[in-house]
Chains A and B, each alone.
With several copies, the nearest count.
Chain A
Amino acid sequence: MRHYAPDDDGAAAVAKEGDLVIVHERYTALTTLTLQRDAFLNNRYGRFSHNHLIGKPLGRRWHAVSTAASGSRSCAGFVHALAPTPELMSYAMLHRTQIVYPHDSAIIAALLELRPGSVVVECGTGSGSASMAFARAVAPTGRVLTFEYHHVRAKAARQLFQSLQLSHVLSVSAGVDVLKDGFVGVQDASADAVFLDVPAPYEMGHQLRRVLRPNGTVCTFSPCVEQVGRTCAMLRKMRFHSLRTITAPLRTYETREQLLHTPAFDQLSSHLSTAAAASSSSTRSRPPSIGERVAKRRRTAVAAPVTNPTPAARKSTTAGAERMAVSALAHGQHVGRVLRPKVRLHSKPFCTMKGHTSYLTFARRPRDDAQREEQAPHSQGQVPSVPQHNCTLS
């Protein structure tokens, strides 16, 4: 999440001592690591020297210097060290805390129209997963001012942002009871966007009006529909416009190569005795073993003429037997004896999905016009008047 200076002519970024990197062991095992000269990382894949990363570009295989201490593996493995992104950081935190999911924060950032220079007020910080996504969008000239009531969590978030070198964009305000005291330290009409992940967003109407600039957008993050109902009622009362409530269920797919074989229906035209048809068909419909399939694919790959031996071309020859076959055909190449069963790509969603994260409600602050009737806000709720003290954000 480092930001280049404008005159940086774009040398490939290398990892430096003190940088936080993501260690990708496998899809479900991501950890974070701060690089220190002469330090080592030990995990199930072995012992890894930080020195191998320092001064080198990330995204390559990081080979272990020796096998894991447990000694269960005979040869040293490798992992990948990656530059941190809000998405990777969120997944790395996923197993130990509640996060705003990356697809949600991506959609929120877009619907809040975040861009470099935007000022975002967030309440509360939580794990910081949304804050990081917002910070990336508004850096380097914008600011994310995030409020977290709990000191322990605020401290953790501050450390996290520090380690990501985001402190110039992100400031964490701890211990403020925003419901009672408001967004302390945020100037009137200074925020382009406000993001509320709090239990009672519907009690923050006047705070929203105060800190948002005219036409600025608020997004509330509410798990339950009843809370959304109260929030929308408040927003309508405050004459916010462009109200919209959405949910974004996340469905991910897996794609596999699949051998599609026909049941013993091919023999229908020839008259066979029941038993004979049955036995022959049952052997024919047996799916080939993985070994057979691999062997076949190898043969295919060898038989196919490789005209362009770049990695990309290699990829395309192995990218699915069906594609290979079709494109070979399309180029008029006779593939001869490489007769393959019908193989195709099959996609389906993973069994379970993140069906619901939260309701996202968006609305824009109206402009203040002198002739408006909502100039007497005290008639509309129990929200205290806006405090004007100007604490500094920590």
Chain B
Amino acid sequence: MGSEPERDTICENDWVVLQSSDGKKVLGNVTNNSSVRIGKRKRKIGALLGKHWGDTFAVTAQDFLQPVADIPEETPDEKDMGTARNNQHLQDDNANQTLRQSAILKLKEAGVHGESLVQTVVKHSSTFHSKTPFSQHKYLQRKRAKFDIRVRVFKPTALTVCETYFEKSPEKTMSLRADALGMVLGYSGVRSGARVLLYENCTGLLTAAVAERLGGNGTVINVFTGHTPPGIEIIRMLNLGETRMKTIAHTPVELLSHVHEREVEDDQPLKYGPREGQEAGGTANGNNEHVPSAKRAEAIAQRPKRGEVKRWIRRGCDCLIVATRFDVVKVFDVLLKHVAPSGCFAAYCTHLQDAADLQYALQLSKMAIRVELMEVNMVNHQILPGRSHPAMTDSATGGYIVSGIRILSPNEEEPEEQS
């Protein structure tokens, strides 16, 4: 059915998501010599090649990654809020540390690293032994996170990439959180084989997520303005592979005004300028500079023909997804009419005012039913023996989703329908 088998091991040029033991995530592109920033320094990640997804690695003194059995203790026991209240110790560990920063640096240079460095630091803490076992544990964990960094490698999926961007650069993905992504994909009815009309300002994250859900069958019609798809660099980070990349049709918005016309360019692939090497499909390399011109020509040839995209749109799209910084009502004005009746749509908005405008406009339009405005709420919980509660500090919002089902408004219906 066109979907490629998923590879179990990491290959040259694969993108990876590396998660440190403190939960922080970072994206990297794996080559023999590539490196990513983990903790405060760049680390060589060549050792990932050939390893399995889910494997864990330690950072060596030489800033290499090196496979290890597992991360020692996965879930840190957090502070017991109930009792800690009554024994507030001095939190400033450095004041009680007799080992100077320069000494630690020297130890590191001498090759002391990882757990042995942690133990040396502990030995030099004047307060470690006066701490409660609970505080000792916390102290050790902090020091391990600092001196004995472990990372786990994850597949770059819509989920892990979404979470990485949400943590590190939410402005690039409109702060799209994983639960909002899930609801957009669910309420818009994306499924393998569907024609999905899409307008997004999430740097390609939604395009890639839809392509992942299509699994090689169907089409994402990613509508863009301008002469080239702007900001879609996340797409190449999902290791989508050729089959799934081919389901993405970046489509200039002007095409929408010509879907019912015949044009001379209809036999030719969609025309738009290249950018950032995303042409090369699943094997796009991370350095995004010189794409060989032959390869580029090939990539252009693989684009769907303009006439074909027009035919798809003429027949009606199954799903519509919008996530825009612009006027979402205007975007719906232009796109909703190309959704086939009974198709689903979902718009992601970061502000209630936009979502409210859209909800209201759709209610008046008679082009949709079951229009709902949902707040995307997610509460994280700490679940530990005797110390369970919602997260003390949490992401405040996942934004808003307006969903509904396209119907033919009375004015759109042909008279013969009223039989």
Contacts and interface: CB of A to CB of B under 8 A. Distances in A.
Given a CB threshold of 8 Å, the question of whether A touches B is answered with yes
B390 interface: yes
B1 A264 contact: no
A356 interface: yes
Contact of B179 (A110, A245, A262): A110
Nearest to B393: A352
Contacts of A108: 182
A355 B213 contact: no
Contacts of B363: 255
Interface string A348-366: 1111111111010100101
B191 interface: yes
A249 B360 CA distance: 23
A6 B406 CA distance: 24
B52 A214 contact: yes
A352 B213 contact: no
Interface stretch (B42-50, B115-123, B192-200): B192-200
A11 B54 CA distance: 42
A316 B364 CA distance: 9
Contact of A113 (B159, B189, B252, B396): B159
A271 B387 CA distance: 65
B375 interface: yes
Contact of A311 (B189, B324, B411): B411
B186 A253 contact: no
Give the size range of A's interface with the partner: 35 or more
Interface stretch (B95-103, B281-289, B292-300, B340-348): B340-348
Interface string A216-257: 000000111111110011001001111111111111111111
Given A116-B213, A347-B352, A262 B365 contact: no
A222 to B, nearest CB: 7
A8 interface: yes
Give the size range of B's interface with the partner: 35 or more
Interface stretch (B58-66, B82-90, B124-132): B82-90
A106 interface: yes
A353 B379 CA distance: 11
Contact of A102 (B86, B187, B385): B187
Interface of A: 1, 3-6, 8-13, 24, 27, 52, 56-61, 63, 80-83, 85-88, 98, 102-103, 105-111, 113, 115-117, 126, 133, 136-137, 139-141, 149-150, 197, 199, 214-215, 222-229, 232-233, 236, 239-258, 260-265, 267-269, 271-272, 274-275, 277-279, 281-282, 285, 310-316, 318-320, 323, 342, 344-357, 359, 361, 364, 366-367, 369, 371-372
Given A126-B85, A285-B326, A369-B69, 18 more contacts: A60-B341, A80-B407, A86-B186, A111-B179, A115-B213, A136-B189, A199-B86, A223-B389, A225-B381, A243-B74, A262-B326, A265-B330, A285-B225, A310-B337, A316-B333, A342-B327, A347-B355, A351-B395
Q: List the 7 closest pairs (A to B, CB-CB), nearest first.
A: A59-B341, A106-B186, A116-B215, A110-B182, A59-B342, A278-B227, A355-B394
